[in-house]
């Protein structure tokens, strides 16, 4: 994949996110297992909701045609993963959370890349020799619902750099930068060394950015770390961790923050920021 040739524009990251989505989600994920009754029920309700908005807001022909153009632009720009993850995924996650007993989750977003380097804890995420940003140490334990350590649990971590850009989606960042699968020790303890990421801005030059500007919204997500936490026999947690006092924490454009997910790292004697977080895994169903 040649995603690193793209610029950190909507065209670049949107198209890359679409490519990655196609490469990592096979059509067999769900399609084919869905009954006609389910499609009828959900599609009908969705259309009813759209019809209702048109009536309630007296949407005009010219607005309808502008919406059509915009939707075409979203597809042509490859921005469906960006758009859906920023405006819709948080509700999907809320629904998933209704049946979840382990640690609190959050959205996955469009920038996960599978098959990253595996490193045993204590681990340092792959970074450039001159990687900018405050050194950050996240340590803790992966436990089961009874508080027993889950040895060998995997923490698949990815995050933006000190400029808010993700490797694989912005130019000039080496492949796999600030991404790794960290393997906890035999008692579930882990330590991850990295740098504190910057807030992330939705690319402003594509259709998603156009909507945000046209509506007078802002395009920012607070700084965050992404994680999948998993072990055989346990339900995988998809989550994010945020930083107390950080910009946009109270107005995340993706509405994906939760109070339980906010770290408050403190400077240690080694000059690095330190934070702890424990993850609770529930059995797979
Ligand atoms: C988007 C980007 C992110 O980094 C994220 O965590 C969630 C959503 C987006 O651009 O849609
Ligand atoms: Fe993100």
Kindly report the protein residue whose alpha carbon is nearest to atom 3 of ligand 1.
Answer: 109
The region of weakest confidence among 12-16, 32-36, 39-43, 121-125 is 12-16
The mean pLDDT of 222-249, rounded to a whole number, is 98
Domain membership flag for residue 113: yes
d(CA 14, CA 31): 24
**Is the Cβ atom of 85 under 6 angstroms away from ligand 1?**
yes
**Is the Cβ atom of 82 under 6 angstroms away from ligand 1?**
yes
Domain membership flag for residue 213: yes
**Is the Cβ atom of 209 under 6 angstroms away from ligand 1?**
no
The mean pLDDT of 70-98, rounded to a whole number, is 97
For ligand 1, mutation pick of 199, 254, 257, 258 (most atoms within 8 Å of CB):
254
d(CA 51, CA 90): 23
pLDDT at res. 269: 96
The whole domain housing 95 covers 1-33+79-285
Domain membership flag for residue 3: yes
pLDDT at res. 181: 98
The larger pLDDT score, comparing residue 9 to residue 115, is at 115
The number of distinct structural domains making up the chain is: 1
Kindly report the protein residue whose alpha carbon is nearest to atom 6 of ligand 1.
Answer: 109
pLDDT over threshold 90, residue 2: no
**Is the Cβ atom of 110 under 6 angstroms away from ligand 1?**
yes
CATH number at residue 89: 2.60.130.10
pLDDT at res. 14: 73
Kindly report the protein residue whose alpha carbon is nearest to atom 10 of ligand 1.
Answer: 82
pTM value is 0.93
The mean pLDDT of 250-255, rounded to a whole number, is 98
Whether the CB-CB separation of 263 and 134 falls below 8 Å is answered with no
Q: Ligand 1, closest atom to CA 84?
A: 11
pLDDT at res. 234: 98
Which tens digit of pLDDT belongs to each residue from 138-189?
999 999 999 999 999 999 999 999 999 999 999 999 999 999 999 999 999 9
Ligand 2 centre and the CA of 155: distance in Å? 16
d(CA 19, CA 2): 10
The mean pLDDT of 45-61, rounded to a whole number, is 98
Domain membership flag for residue 58: no
pLDDT over threshold 90, residue 81: yes
Domain membership flag for residue 60: no
Kindly report the protein residue whose alpha carbon is nearest to atom 5 of ligand 1.
Answer: 109
Domain membership flag for residue 52: no
CB neighbour burial string for 101-139, b if at least 16 within 10 angstroms, e if fewer: ebbbbbbbbbbbbeebeebebebebbbeeebebebbbbb
Domain membership flag for residue 44: no
Helices 80-87 and 89-97, packing angle to 10 deg: 50
Question: What residues pair up with 179 in beta bridges, in sequence order?
Answer: 158
pLDDT over threshold 50, residue 4: no
102: which 2 tokens?
Answer: 């382990």
Domain membership flag for residue 74: no
CB neighbour burial string for 27-55, b if at least 16 within 10 angstroms, e if fewer: eeeeeeeeeeeeeeeeeeeeeeeeeeeee
Ligand 2 centre and the CA of 36: distance in Å? 35
Q: Ligand 1, closest atom to CA 166?
A: 4
pLDDT over threshold 60, residue 77: yes
């Amino acid at each position: 994949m040649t995603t690193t040739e793209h610029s950190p524009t909507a065209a670049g990251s949107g198209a890359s996110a679409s490519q990655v989505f196609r490469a990592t989600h096979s059509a067999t994920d769900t399609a084919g297992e869905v009954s006609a009754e389910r499609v009828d029920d959900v599609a009908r309700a969705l259309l009813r909701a759209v019809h209702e908005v048109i009536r309630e807001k007296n949407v005009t022909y010219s607005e309808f045609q502008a919406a059509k153009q915009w939707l075409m632009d979203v597809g042509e720009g490859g921005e469906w993963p960006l758009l859906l993850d920023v405006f819709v995924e948080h509700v999907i996650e809320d629904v998933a959370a209704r049946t979840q007993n382990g640690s609190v989750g959050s959205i996955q977003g469009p920038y996960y890349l599978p098959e990253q380097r595996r490193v045993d804890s204590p681990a340092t995420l792959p970074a450039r020799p001159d990687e900018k940003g405050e050194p950050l140490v996240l340590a803790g334990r992966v436990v089961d619902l009874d508080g027993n350590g889950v040895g060998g649990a995997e923490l698949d971590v990815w995050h933006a750099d000190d400029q808010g850009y993700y490797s694989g989606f912005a130019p000039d960042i080496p492949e796999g930068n600030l991404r790794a699968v960290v393997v906890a020790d035999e008692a579930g303890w882990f330590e991850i060394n990295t740098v504190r990421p910057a807030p992330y801005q939705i690319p402003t030059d594509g259709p998603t950015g156009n909507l945000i500007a046209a509506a007078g919204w802002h395009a920012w997500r607070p700084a965050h770390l992404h994680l999948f936490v998993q072990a055989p026999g346990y339900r995988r947690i998809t989550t994010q961790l945020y930083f107390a006092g950080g910009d946009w924490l109270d107005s995340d454009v993706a509405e994906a923050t939760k109070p339980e997910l906010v770290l408050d790292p403190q400077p240690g004697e080694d000059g690095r920021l330190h934070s702890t977080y424990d993850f609770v895994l529930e059995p797979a169903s």
